[in-house]
């Protein structure tokens, strides 16, 4: 393996540039001009059946390419198709259907039986994606729109689906609504590959049929590669979620409203409806290689005075026994994680009684041979990371449980370095020798450097992965896509975790017409919402199954001796970020994590299959085969292994001894996902700031070694001569980072604007919101602003501009600073808002059309005053605040009172506005005018969710670390005529 790994990195140093430019095959590529039946979809008329790409969570993209799949034996393989162009009105007496032929081996007369195929119609559900988190994470537009989510099973008779019996997607919840030919129909096709299927290339065809035509109206080929290895039945990664009793009562009131959970039993027909709902949810999850737990199912307990609790397990055992034995499931695979049930109000009893209950529960589950799957699960009092006091208390309580029963296991919501271990001075904490019976929380995708390690020579705790830690985790949910879910399985493998716990699998909305939060990851919808008897699976549940199967691929690669290659692929898929001691966990780091490129996931999965196939367990790989795989890994690794760059700070200051020459220092964050520590790295200006007055050396600057998963900040310097400043057009600058080990380059573009703001002449009237009295000499922006960070653009190192142009004007007088603007894109009902506050999501001003102005004064001695933040709305409302000392104020942004700021606006086709800001509001001093202003201007367009800034890209409008510059130019400066102050 050492030779293999060394070979990869040696080649990487030679070929990185070539590989970075290699295009990846993807379904989104332009279709070939000529396609035969085996190459792509064909059609004889307007009706079509095509493969569907679900990478875009808003608009599924159908194309004419052949559908290509790869799957192991005993794996669920899936694809989606779209039927469109059917006659409107249903086609009269003509019946339409589509058929999937039995997959046939290309080289032999072998097929996969049609009974292994199943179909579900993909139905849209309302999701409110007008959320800052959604736009920031996906780079897509916002809005309220139905997204493909629910999966309604449709009968498939020998591979044929009758389209006249499917649901109208325009009325997804009406069981009587039938398609009228107006909207495309989407279908999800599952293929369960039998374990005995011979490996090889298989082909099949999806055909659109009409009852009045002997030949198919349209078809699309499906190519399936069956790999020569078997996915294990056993789940080596448990993907689990908890069914809350309150959610069950809300969504199934008839079955749960009046039911006491400790009395539910299979022995009493009265509880049959309740048990039926639970069975359907547990089975549906298990069929998708996931699990759900019902924590409120519990025994009946009596607490006699002075004696141990008396526990009756007879009822609850009848409910959970079929799940824990596997008898309830077709494949007979039991649930592998079911925490010991905690009875209601257990926390109100004394500690001795609690331990007696847990000991009795552990003994009962041990007799049933369930205890190895049923730990005692601790919960935090509030979501998030445990504080020191709570971690100490949990450690002491866990130690008591581990001592009370020799086989009991404990799940703690504490990371390993938070668990307090026993010592001579503190004997009441966890005995490190019992570490194997602990499940500690694994670090998330953004994690802190551990402050201590588990004692050497003692068994370390097992790991489980939390998905509920706010702020430091990947944004994931209904607004995301398959990759956002899959990344957790790859992270679990990288971190050595065997369990991933998700939030509630049920919708938080009360009705199918309610707009859902895109942060919700919904596994099931109630069947009653759609007129169905059984709960419906969701697209997200299919993503979870794909994620679990991903983990089994990684597990197989490790068992076959390819742990390093499997870990390398997992590392580059997840790209975690390690927060070093003393480093603040910047939320912007989450944009660097994971892999946003769909092609990288597709190609990475194929490579993982080849890694598994490289050799059998315990065997040596053929040298030629290993070298070929290493070259393929090289081509995939090169673009994924590049450093990511992000502009984060700009410092503007006078050079020593000068009031005209500025030193400009641009702070660049560099993230390294590579497991090498590249040294002798270089950072250089490749496109320096343009315009007279700028000076930036093109010579590269040497940077120190980069550590894996670290984000390090480095400076790029330039100079600016204010006497020569005449820039009106702000073109992007570019910096290039060069990896000293591989010579691979990463390019960063950003806009670093600097402009002169002149003393204004007489006649300025800002009381009407018109811009008639401003001219081109006052303009500091003409054209699109720079869009804020989003995850795909950052990972592509791509600078994106706003869709609409903006014009910004500035000027000043003795008493005030003036700003005017013209903004396209604002308007409609949203612009009529009269809110007297500003809503923030993910630190971004949100929820209405608005613009933000950020100002900080720079004095002659390089000292800086407070940061002023002004939010303007089309309705002429505005909000003003200043940033105070964060050491004094919990929220440093405090409203500015007592200093009136005049703002007028007009909204006639486009939004124009003018502001007069007293210098006192900017400098916090009377009659004091600064030499320069750090300045930024941000526009947010509510209809699209697009936010863009003058200097940028930035992650939020109040980011005072990255701002442009306005030089307050006097009329006596070179090239300026003497002008009187404007009329107030």
Q: What is the mean pLDDT of each run of 10 residues along the chain (984 residues)?
A: 44 43 38 50 91 84 94 98 87 88 95 97 93 89 84 96 94 93 92 97 97 94 97 97 97 96 97 98 98 98 92 98 97 97 94 96 97 96 87 96 97 95 93 96 90 92 85 52 92 96 93 89 96 96 97 97 95 94 88 93 96 89 92 94 96 93 97 90 94 91 94 96 85 95 94 95 81 91 96 96 96 94 75 73 93 96 95 91 88 92 90 95 89 97 95 97 96 51 43
Q: Is 914 within 8 Å of 903 (Cβ atoms)?
A: yes
Q: How many residues does this entry show for the chain?
A: 984
Distances (CA, A) of 34 to 37, 39, 65, 776: 10, 9, 11, 53
Distance CA 801, CA 857 (A): 27
Task: Output the pLDDT for position 728.
Answer: 73
Q: Which helix (H) or strand (E) holds 627?
A: helix 623-640
* Residue 392, Cβ density class (10 Å: 0-12 exposed, 13-18 middle, ≥19 buried): middle
58-105 pLDDT per residue, tens: 788 899 999 999 999 999 999 999 999 998 876 678 899 999 999 999
Closest CA to 411 of 475, 323, 340, 479: 340
Query: Rounded to the nearest 5 degrees, what angle is found at the Cα of 63, between the Cα atoms of 87 and 165?
Result: 40
Asked if the peptide bond before residue 953 counts as cis, ω within 30 degrees of 0, the response is yes
Distance CA 180, CA 168 (A): 7
* Residue 366, Cβ density class (10 Å: 0-12 exposed, 13-18 middle, ≥19 buried): middle
Closest CA to 572 of 634, 516, 630, 622: 634
Q: Is 416 within 8 Å of 435 (Cβ atoms)?
A: no
Backbone angles phi and psi of 566, in degrees to 5: -60, -40
Distance CA 877, CA 848 (A): 12
N-terminal to C-terminal alpha carbon distance within the chain:
77
Task: Output the pLDDT for position 833.
Answer: 53
Q: Which helix (H) or strand (E) holds 937?
A: strand 932-941
* Residue 361, Cβ density class (10 Å: 0-12 exposed, 13-18 middle, ≥19 buried): buried
Q: Is 127 within 8 Å of 516 (Cβ atoms)?
A: yes
Strand partners for 713: 669
Distance CA 136, CA 145 (A): 18
Tally of CB atoms within 10 A around 441: 24
Task: Output the pLDDT for position 143.
Answer: 72
306-318 pLDDT per residue, tens: 899 999 999 999 9
Task: Output the pLDDT for position 758.
Answer: 94
Backbone angles phi and psi of 544, in degrees to 5: -65, -40
Task: Output the pLDDT for position 39.
Answer: 79
pTM listed for this prediction: 0.92
* Residue 885, Cβ density class (10 Å: 0-12 exposed, 13-18 middle, ≥19 buried): exposed
């Amino acid at each position: 393996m050492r030779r293999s790994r060394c070979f990869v990195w040696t080649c990487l140093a030679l070929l990185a540039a070539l590989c970075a430019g290699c295009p990846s095959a993807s379904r989104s590529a332009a279709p070939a001009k000529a396609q035969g039946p085996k190459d792509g979809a064909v059609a004889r008329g307007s009706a079509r059946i095509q493969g569907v790409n679900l990478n875009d969570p808003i608009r599924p993209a159908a194309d004419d390419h052949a559908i290509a799949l790869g799957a192991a034996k005993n794996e669920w393989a899936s694809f989606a198709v779209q039927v469109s162009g059917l006659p409107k009105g249903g086609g009269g007496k003509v019946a339409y259907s589509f058929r999937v032929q039995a997959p046939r081996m290309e080289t032999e007369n072998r097929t996969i039986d049609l009974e292994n195929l199943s179909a579900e119609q993909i139905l849209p559900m309302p999701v409110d994606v007008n959320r800052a988190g959604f736009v920031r994470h996906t780079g897509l537009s916002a809005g309220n729109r139905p997204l493909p989510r629910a999966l309604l099973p449709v009968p498939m008779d020998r591979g044929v689906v009758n389209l006249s019996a499917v649901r109208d997607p325009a009325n997804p919840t009406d069981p009587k609504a039938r398609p009228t030919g107006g909207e495309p129909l989407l279908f999800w096709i599952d293929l369960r590959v039998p374990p005995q299927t011979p490996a090889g290339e298989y082909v099949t065809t999806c055909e659109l049929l009409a009852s009045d035509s002997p030949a198919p109206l349209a078809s699309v080929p499906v190519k399936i590669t069956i790999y020569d290895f078997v996915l294990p039945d056993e789940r080596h990664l448990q993907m689990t979620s908890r069914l809350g009793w309150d959610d069950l009562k809300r969504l199934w009131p008839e079955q749960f409203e009046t039911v006491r959970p400790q009395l539910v039993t299979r022995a009493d027909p009265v509880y049959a409806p309740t048990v039926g709902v639970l069975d359907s949810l547990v089975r549906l999850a298990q069929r998708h290689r996931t699990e759900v737990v019902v924590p409120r199912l519990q025994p009946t307990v009596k607490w006699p005075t002075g004696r141990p609790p008396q526990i009756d397990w007879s009822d609850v055992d009848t409910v959970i026994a079929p799940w824990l034995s596997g008898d309830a499931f077709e494949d007979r695979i039991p649930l592998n994680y079911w925490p010991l049930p905690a009875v209601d109000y257990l926390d109100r009893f004394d500690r001795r009684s609690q331990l007696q209950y847990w000991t009795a529960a552990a003994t009962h589950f041990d007799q049933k041979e369930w205890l190895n799957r049923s730990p005692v699960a601790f919960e935090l009092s509030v979501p998030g990371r445990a504080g020191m006091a709570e971690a100490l208390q949990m450690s002491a309580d866990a130690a008591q449980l581990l001592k009370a029963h020799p086989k009991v296991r404990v799940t703690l919501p504490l990371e390993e370095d938070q668990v307090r271990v026993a010592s001579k001075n503190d004997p009441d904490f966890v005995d490190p020798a019992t570490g194997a019976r602990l499940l500690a929380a694994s670090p998330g995708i953004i994690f802190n450097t551990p402050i201590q390690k588990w004692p050497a020579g003692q068994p370390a705790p097992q790991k489980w992965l939390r998905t509920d830690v706010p702020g430091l985790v990947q944004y994931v949910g209904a607004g995301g896509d398959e990759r956002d879910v899959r990344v957790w399985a790859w992270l679990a493998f990288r971190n050595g975790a065997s369990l991933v716990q998700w939030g509630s699998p049920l919708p938080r909305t009360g009705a199918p017409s309610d707009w859902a939060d895109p942060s919700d990851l919904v596994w099931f919808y109630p069947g009653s919402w759609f007129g169905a008897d059984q709960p419906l699976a969701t697209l997200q549940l299919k993503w979870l199954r794909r994620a679990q199967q991903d983990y089994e691929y990684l597990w197989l690669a490790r068992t076959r001796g390819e742990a390093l290659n499997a870990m390398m692929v997992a590392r580059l898929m997840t790209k975690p970020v390690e927060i070093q001691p003393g480093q603040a966990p910047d939320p912007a780091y989450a944009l660097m994590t994971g892999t946003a490129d769909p092609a990288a996931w597709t190609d990475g999965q194929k490579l993982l299959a080849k890694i598994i196939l490289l050799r059998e367990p315990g065997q040596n790989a053929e040298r030629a085969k290993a070298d070929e795989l290493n070259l393929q890994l090289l081509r995939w690794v090169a673009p994924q292994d590049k450093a990511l760059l992000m502009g984060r700070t700009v410092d503007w200051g006078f050079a020593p001894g000068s009031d005209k020459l500025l030193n400009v220092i641009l702070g660049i964050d560099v993230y390294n996902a590579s497991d090498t520590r590249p040294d002798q790295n270089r950072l250089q200006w490749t496109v320096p700031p343009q315009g007279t007055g700028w000076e930036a050396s093109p010579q590269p600057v040497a940077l120190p070694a980069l550590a894996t998963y670290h984000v390090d900040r480095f400076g790029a310097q330039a100079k600016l001569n204010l006497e020569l400043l005449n820039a009106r057009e702000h073109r992007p600058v570019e910096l290039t980072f060069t990896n000293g080990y591989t010579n691979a380059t990463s390019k960063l573009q950003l806009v670093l604007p600097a402009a002169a703001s002149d003393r204004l002449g007489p006649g300025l009237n800002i009381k009407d919101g018109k811009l008639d009295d401003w001219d081109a000499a006052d303009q500091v922006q003409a054209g699109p602003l720079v869009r804020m960070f989003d995850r795909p653009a950052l990972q592509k190192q791509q600078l994106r501009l706003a869709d609409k142009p903006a014009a910004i004007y500035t000027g000043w007088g003795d008493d005030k600073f003036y700003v005017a603007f013209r903004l396209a894109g604002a308007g409609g009902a949203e612009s009529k808002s009269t809110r007297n506050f500003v809503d923030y999501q993910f630190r971004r001003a949100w929820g209405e059309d608005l613009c933000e102005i950020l100002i900080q004064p720079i004095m002659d001695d390089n000292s800086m005053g407070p940061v002023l933040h002004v939010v303007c709305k089309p309705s002429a409302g505005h909000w003003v605040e200043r940033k105070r000392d964060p050491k004094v104020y919990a929220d440093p942004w405090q409203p500015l009172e007592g200093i009136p700021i005049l703002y007028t606006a007009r909204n006639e086709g486009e939004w124009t506005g003018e502001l007069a800001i007293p210098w006192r509001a900017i400098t916090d001093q009377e009659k004091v005018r600064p030499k320069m202003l750090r300045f930024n201007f941000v526009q947010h367009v509510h209809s699209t969710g697009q936010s863009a800034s003058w200097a940028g890209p930035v992650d939020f409008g109040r980011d005072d670390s990255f701002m442009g510059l306005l030089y307050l130019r006097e009329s006596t400066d070179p090239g300026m005529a003497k002008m009187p102050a404007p009329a107030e």
